[in-house]
Structures are given as C-alpha cells and as structure tokens.
Amino acid sequence: MLAIEEQILGVLDPLSKGLKDYPPSSALLGRVRTIAEDHVEGLKVRMLGMGVDGPPPPVTTGVATVVPLGSKEPISPSSASQLLYSLVSHAAFGYSVLHVVAHRQCDSGWGIESGSTADLAEEHLREYGQVLHNLDLLVSDVTVWELSRDGLSCRCVCPSCGLGICMCGTHGTATMLDAMQAPPILPTTPDRGAGLTLMSPARPESVASQAGLERGDTILRIDDQPVGTKPDISTNIMEYSSVIKTHRPGEAMRLQVRRPTGEVEELRVPKFEADPSAEERRLAAIMFTDMVGFTALTQRDETHALKLLEEHRTLVRAAFPRHRGREIKTMGDGFLIEFASALEAATCAIEIQRAVRERNRSRRQDRIQVRIGVHVGDLVSVGGDIFGDAVNIAARIEPMAEAGGICISQQVYDQVWNKVPAKMDQLADCQLKNVSAPVGVYRIKLPR
C-alpha cells in the first residue's frame, strides 16, 4: 500500500496539467495529494511500530502504465479524471483487502488498543471512498464542460434544454447521486432542495443566453412555483419541465435565479426561440380537439362555462406529453396539437376520450364532451405555428366526430388500423370545404 500511495503521488503532477483548466477536478486533485501524503506518513509510522523498515517493494500491477507519463499530448479533464479514478480505486481496493487481512491477523481494535493496521486501513479506505464518490459526481459536469469548451452545444429537445437551459449534466449528476446515496466531500453538485443549478452555460444565441442565464446559476422558482423542493433531483427536473410545458410558444416564463455570488434576480424567458421568419416543412400528424356545447353554455352562464373550460383543458393537456404531442395553440375551447406519428396521435385521442368518460362517470350534470379529428400529412411550420393542407383537413375532419368521438383520415387509418385497441367504421367519402379531392374518413368506436 505504501508503494501504491507513492505511485499516486508520482503521477499527480502530470494529471494536474489536464485538470488545470477545470477548477472542480483540480481542487479534488489537491485534496487527493494531501490525502496521499497523509497516508504515506501514516503507513510509515505503522510499519515502524511493527518493526518493519526499508523501501517498499515495487508495484507489480498494471497501474503504473495507466498514466501516459511520456506522452506529449495534453490530457483532457475527463481523461485525467478517469485516470485519477483508476489509481484511487486501485488504492481503495487494496485498503479493503488490507482491512480484512489485518482483522484476520488480530491486527485490529480487538487485539490492539489503538493504532492498529485495520483502523488505519479503514480510515484510508473511507477517505478514498469519498474521493471516488466525488469523481463519480464530476463525470457529467466535466463532460458538459468539455463539450461546451469544444463548441458542441446541447441538442436535447426536453422542455428545458429546448430553451437553451441545458439540464443534461444536472440530470446525470442527480442520477449518480441517487445511485450512490452518500454525501460528497466537496460541493460539486447542486444542493438538494435548493433549486436546480446549471452545470452548462446557456446555449449561444438561445433565449436563455439572451436572458442572461449562465453556468453556476441556480433556478429557485419558475413563475410562482418553487424549484428543487423534493429530495429526488430527477423528480425536481421533471416538475420544472412540466411547468415549462404549460406555457404556449412565445409566452414568457418568470425565473427566479440565484447567481454564484448569492444575488437573486428575476429573469423573463420566452418559451419559443426560433426565428419567426424561418419556414420548415415536415411530415407530421395533426390533431384538432373541440369542447362540445361550450358556446351555448357560455351564453347561459359565462362564469361556470369558463370554469368547465379550464377543467377540460387540464384534463386534455395531461395526455399530450405521454404521446410526445406538441401543443401548437389553443383556439377558444379547442387545441391544435402536432405529433411525430399517426399512431401517437390516435392513441392520445383514445386516451383523452377515456379520461373524459371516466371524469363524467360521477357527474350527472356539468358533463364535458370532446370531439377529436386526426390527419397526417405535410405541413409548413413558421414562427411556432403550423399551416398547410394537412392542417386544413384535420380541422374539417374534427366536426364530423360525434360528441365524445374521434374521426381520422384515410392516411391515419392506413397506419394504425391494426395497432390500436378499437374498431373503426368507414364513413362515406367526404368533399371537405376548401379541399379539392374527396377524403376518406373513419370513425374510431370506443367501447361503452
């Protein structure tokens, strides 16, 4: 163990060159140097107490070849961290063995009042265990740091990363922390219950960057909802993302942010960040929904109608994220939603109608009914909105559905007829308004 500790001290200088630009790992490297020096001193004292003297034997394992001491190529922070992990892990393994051997030889607190080899091995093992834990927690952060340094921006499409507020590193660290279930010895991770800390700078030219969010900032609140109040950081990220999803494109969110200096600011970040003049074509499934009887109900009791409308929106919106639906906009009492596939759109429509039926089961009055129409085709996306014949056809199909029903086009039927748990009846070909060719339409029959 003395030879291994001296070997660790011998490679810290080459490793420090790779970590000099990354302060968290560099600080941990300094901590390892102090620990290894203390270990060398402690091992020598223990050996003298046992009457053992002389230089340690050479290390016969392959650890000496782990660090490319003769290489002229600079070591990246992630590679240096990995090499440091290998060395410390090897030492920790050795102390685990030494701890057991010492107990078996009665060189422990059971046979020696103080200063036993087992006690020494246990102390050294705990210190290196904490180092390994911190290295585990730095993996995501150092990876994000290197990617950002090399100009590789985050391309994740989750609600937060889509704004330019990358949570990939935070989520990775949270996952590791949950797996380890042990406290770190250095503050390398966001404090639990104290918001979500950005481990990556905001993507250049993103709305987050324009709003002034920077690496090291901690998001404390989004709108009026606290962030990071749960012990599980992954749950905190999901709740935070759910609030982002409730905002329409272009709508501003209020973020309460604590800077690394401790100063707290409120920033406004719009959800949509694309160039409003940019035009994009793509194939997608389009869904239109409509709350049946809302106009008549408004004329009778506007306050009550608005209350039911809000309940309807909450009920319907809950199904969208489970099927990767992107809410384009609300239109009075209806929604326009885009899906990546016809199957996701159809299964989402079925889930919505089942949820509405379940809600109505306990209501004799104030029942909510929804019509849904689904089509798939080529659309044009401009400034967060979508246009084209495919959108028009979906809009014309929706009124053909019964109250509480679903109608789909022939194109959707061709892709889902054997993939959804429902029967489908073909209607007569329809000549839809402002659509030149007849369109085949099917009605999805949900079991009563």
Domain boundary among 129, 149, 169: 149
Please state the rounded mean pLDDT for residues 117-142. Answer: 89
Does the structure show a pLDDT above 60 at 134?
Answer: yes
- Same-domain check for residues 263 and 328: no
Residues 128 and 236 placed together within one structural domain of the fold: no
> What's the confidence (pLDDT) of residue 193?
44
| Phi and psi angles of residue 363, each rounded to the nearest 5 degrees, phi first | -120, 120
Is the confidence at residue 332, as pLDDT, over 90? Answer: no
Q: What confidence score (pLDDT) does residue 62 get?
A: 47
d(CA 152, CA 139): 17
Task: Kindly state whether residues 145 and 184 are assigned to the same domain.
Answer: no
Say if residue 169 is in the same domain as residue 120: no
Residue 213: band (very low, low, confident or very high) from pLDDT cuts 50, 70, 90: confident
Please indicate, yes or no, whether residues 333 and 400 belong to a single structural domain of this protein. yes
State whether 285 and 409 are in the same domain. Answer: yes
Residues 387, 389, 390, 396, CA torsion sign: positive
The CATH number that applies at residue 320 is 3.30.70.1230
47 domain residue, yes or no? yes
147-156, 183-192, 360-369, 397-406: the lowest-pLDDT one: 183-192
Region of poorest pLDDT, from 54-58, 170-174, 251-255, 409-413: 54-58
- pLDDT tier, 191 (very low <50, low <70, confident <90, very high otherwise): very low
Q: Is residue 156 part of a domain?
A: no
In this structure, the answer to whether residues 257 and 288 fall within a common structural domain is no
Q: Which domain holds residue 419?
A: 279-445
Residues 114 and 65 both lie in one domain: yes
Quick one: 315 and 440 in the same domain?
yes
HSE at residue 383, side-chain half, CA atoms within 13 A, is 4
Q: Lowest-pLDDT range, 138-142, 347-351, 385-389?
A: 385-389
- The domain boundary, picked from 149, 181, 197, lies at 149
Choose the final residue of a domain: 94, 123, 149: 149
Contacts of 424 (CB under 8 A, 6+ apart): 408, 413, 417, 442, 443, 444, 445
Give the model confidence (pLDDT) of 38-81 as tens digits. 999 999 998 888 888 766 666 555 444 444 555 556 678 888 88
Domain count, the chain: 3
- Between CA 173 and CA 370 the distance in angstroms is 42
Residues 6 and 119 in one domain: yes
Q: Is the residue at 155 inside a domain?
A: no
In a domain, 31, yes or no: yes
Check if the beta carbon of residue 260 is closer than 8 Å to that of residue 217: yes
Assess whether 85 and 210 both reside in one domain: no
> What tokens does 384 get?
């967060």
Confidence of residue 188 (pLDDT cuts 50, 70, 90): very low
The model scores a pTM over 0.95: no
SS3 226: strand
**Per-residue pLDDT at 298:** 82
Q: Mean of the per-residue pLDDT values for the chain? A: 82
